[in-house]
Structure 1
């Protein structure tokens, strides 16, 4: 009876979130608290097992860094420079931002690059009088696709990298970057065709852009060198993460605290903390509690085992089913607990005599990361971008994104199926 109640709470909360009848953070929080009230798990379990404080702390730290950096004028300078580079062409800007988001997500993690690029994006769209939603949707898709390519690009890849001893940073690049490049190219071509009529920039705005001097937007209050210096060091820490063995959250928190200390004479710490996107952070906490209820009730673990049961352990069938099941489900439930449930199950395959599990691991990584494009709830970077947009009074509606995200996921999984078959499975046929 409790399991049914948990499922009802989860589905109801998701329907309310998708319908947007009330604030998303409030809906997720109410659903999470209902999970606690049911009594399936207590507050200690919720706080220390189900809420991913690493993710919350990483987001919190990056919000502080981005907020302080924005006060120096560096985002305005970058936005104007990029726009002048492509002569104010709206379509080329879409392609450029998508490419920056994809490459940045591969080497900085998609959540980080999302927080860095969104302020630049809004500066540009205001300047050129462009609709921001097409750019936001393109950025969401690019962040998830690009983050699939590397060990540090998306949390599921980090988990898989820790679970498989012989998977290194270069392993992910070698095995996943080729298919990621193909999917990214196809998706960007599709988006360019879809939005080509919405990205027109008037000649008046182009002339205005040409007349602007980017460096004049840099504020001479001493914050520029401090903020960009800390941002550079923090970014370097992210890139060197596999080598220095300091986790991303620690690097981000150290950067945020150092930057607040260095700029404390210029910007009041209390004001900086007030400008953190607390609504987005509470939304994440609510989602973690919701998915935690499914975990405690055994739904996620049972689903993972059903996949193995249906395929009877057959190498080829299991590999493809893992790809599609993970990809389709990751749009609606957090891919992190699902990957966590799948890891020990895949390890059990060694006992069945399957020596080479690599195709299954790559299928799990592709499905979990690419599936994040299915809905706005599919990945952390989606929620961050939507949260930052709402601060600017711009709203990406659930249904609007769904109509683009689901076809992109199905296309991505279809292309991935062909790739996995010819690269890994054909020799097993």
Structure 2
């Protein structure tokens, strides 16, 4: 289990044996890749990344130190430079999480979570099924609004309180709540750190999450609730018996306390509304995509710190988990090295070789791989490694189903094992401390694996059904990926190419597929390498740009001899400003 104390108290022999496994795995990844398809920098990047994976598995308490050392190896071997480190560390994601952590601390102070607990306890005609259904759904939806860890802490406290009074074993109720919390964390970009990271890398808006991810999450949540209610039906009947006996004695389930909740409710409502409206505000003020989204939690946190000045330092020093955030920042930077050294292109090439460009194969494949990986390793690690690969795949296939498959796999996969998510670890720690109950690996695995298979089936089938309705967003494509040697095929894929029109030393082929009276054939080449070029069917009624332009259009593979396997049917172009101007 991911436990800081366990790592620190490990014997020297155990430390050395685990370090040997870590070193062997890293060397195997590096040497194996270097001797096959990777160059030296790519092999180094893979070795360091594998080292961090095994480091978090074997030395959870030392994960930050391992990330420090891994980053140093990448810098010293010139596999990563400082400017790329700054770019890849995703500081915007880190700041988003800082703002949300401050807001969560303020909500705790304002009694918002206590108010939610009181609402559940005060429900009329309470039964075991009603109690755990409402509790589980509330935990899932609360995870959507704040985060999964905060949600499970408060819901677990409620469960312990109720079970203590009814003299029940809280284990099945904790299990139901945490399984549903993990499912609910996939509903929005605030529910889990992987949500905001995927949203940033995939340029997804809050509205995209609400339109595509949230409805599928709800269906998966209801399926999970139904499964767990059936699985623990005997314990729920015992709840009803114990509750009936307690009420017959004139005793209440829990004391009801009047909680001043309005300020907390106002804070969370305004925060969610501000985040939800980020896309229209960005369009209104001409700001970059997701800029308002990423800065909104900081604005709300700043206002909170002004209004509660006496608690401002506490929020920053105690409520913000700097240890975890620093680890995330270094992890994102190391994962960015996979993109910087083009390991992502190699992985995408083999993925498409094995799965093709079919969403029907790629969606379940990405879900299964990310779910299994997230069951044993921090899901942020797998998401960070997969994001560059999906960015590469998006050049030839709709990217939305792939991003959602990664999101659902990372979140739902946390239910497979006890160490699959931070919420699991927190809930089990509270269970052991409060009741002395212990859950074995297979006790968890039986229901965890079942719930993941059920929720995953709902998500994958839903994505495949909705895939035709999802827009084919314009993807930025590199000219290197369009050469005949890449073996890629395109069928009217919406893309953006940044390049310039250059003269050809030989006559350009005639594009019979396009009406000569409407299009002219030009040679569009890379801004960095004039030899990397494709054919472009440029509308006659559009003026040819003189310099470097971002050209938007539909990419299509054509049956032409020579070095031009694809043609870009141009829709529009815009000049690209030179750096520093």
TM-score (ref. length: structure 1): 0.72
2:328 matches 1:284? yes
Q: How far apart in 2 are the matches of 1:282 and 1:376?
A: 25
2:317 matches 1:274? yes
Which residue pairs with 2:148 in the alignment? 114
Secondary structure at the residue paired with 1:85?
Answer: coil
Would you tell me which structure has more helix in proportion to its own residues?
1
For 1:268-301, what per-residue CA distance to the aligned partner results, in whole angstroms no more than 9, with x for missing partners? 4333333223343244335434534544554444
Q: How far apart in 2 are the matches of 1:18 and 1:256?
A: 34
8 A contact 1:52–1:288 mirrored in 2: yes
1:15-414 superposed matches below 5 A: 15-19=54-58, 22=59, 24=60, 26-40=61-75, 41=79, 44-45=82-83, 47-85=85-123, 89=127, 91-103=129-141, 108=145, 112-114=146-148, 117-128=151-162, 129=164, 130-131=170-171, 133-134=174-175, 137-147=178-188, 154-155=195-196, 158-159=199-200, 162=203, 169=207, 179-196=216-233, 202-203=242-243, 209-210=252-253, 212-215=255-258, 218=259, 226-245=263-282, 247-264=292-309, 267-276=310-319, 277-296=321-340, 298-313=342-357, 316-318=360-362, 321-322=365-366, 324-325=368-369, 328=372, 332=377, 333-347=381-395, 349=396, 357-358=397-398, 361-375=400-414, 382-383=421-422, 386=425, 405-414=448-457
Q: How far apart in 2 are the matches of 1:398 and 1:210?
A: 30
Q: How far apart in 1 are the matches of 2:212 and 2:263?
A: 38
For 1:77-103, what per-residue CA distance to the aligned partner results, in whole angstroms no more than 9, with x for missing partners? 321221221666555343223323444
Change (3 A) 1:14 1:176: closer
8 A contact 1:327–1:366 mirrored in 2: no
Which residue pairs with 1:353 in the alignment? none
Change (3 A) 1:373 1:177: closer
Q: Which has the higher contact order (CA 8 A, sep 6+)?
A: 1
Would you tell me which structure has more strand in proportion to its own residues?
2
Q: How far apart in 1 are the matches of 2:416 and 2:333?
A: 14
Secondary structure at the residue paired with 1:81?
Answer: helix
For 1:321-355, what per-residue CA distance to the aligned partner results, in whole angstroms no more than 9, with x for missing partners? 455455555665432552343234322x2xxxxxx
Secondary structure at the residue paired with 2:203?
Answer: helix
Q: How far apart in 2 are the matches of 1:182 and 1:227?
A: 29
Which sits farther off after the overlay, 199-208 or 131-140?
199-208
Q: How far apart in 1 are the matches of 2:216 and 2:328?
A: 30
The higher radius of gyration belongs to 2
Which ranges in structure 1 are unaligned for 5 or more consecutive residues? 350-356
Report the CA distance between 1:158 and its aligned residue: 3.0
Report the CA distance between 1:403 and its aligned residue: 6.1
8 A contact 1:374–1:409 mirrored in 2: yes
Change (3 A) 1:153 1:283: closer
Secondary structure at the residue paired with 2:302?
Answer: helix
Change (3 A) 1:231 1:208: farther
Q: How many residues align?
A: 394
Report the CA distance between 1:233 and its aligned residue: 1.5
Report the CA distance between 1:70 and its aligned residue: 1.7
Taking only aligned residues, the RMSD between alpha carbons, in angstroms, comes to 4.5
Report the CA distance between 1:421 and its aligned residue: 5.3
For 1:136-177, what per-residue CA distance to the aligned partner results, in whole angstroms no more than 9, with x for missing partners? 5224322244349x9x993366358637xxx993x7656556
For 1:100-120, what per-residue CA distance to the aligned partner results, in whole angstroms no more than 9, with x for missing partners? 3444566x4xxx243653453
Change (3 A) 1:10 1:194: farther
Secondary structure at the residue paired with 2:414?
Answer: coil
Secondary structure at the residue paired with 2:122?
Answer: helix
Which ranges in structure 2 are unaligned for 5 or more consecutive residues? 1-30, 32-39, 165-169, 283-290, 469-581
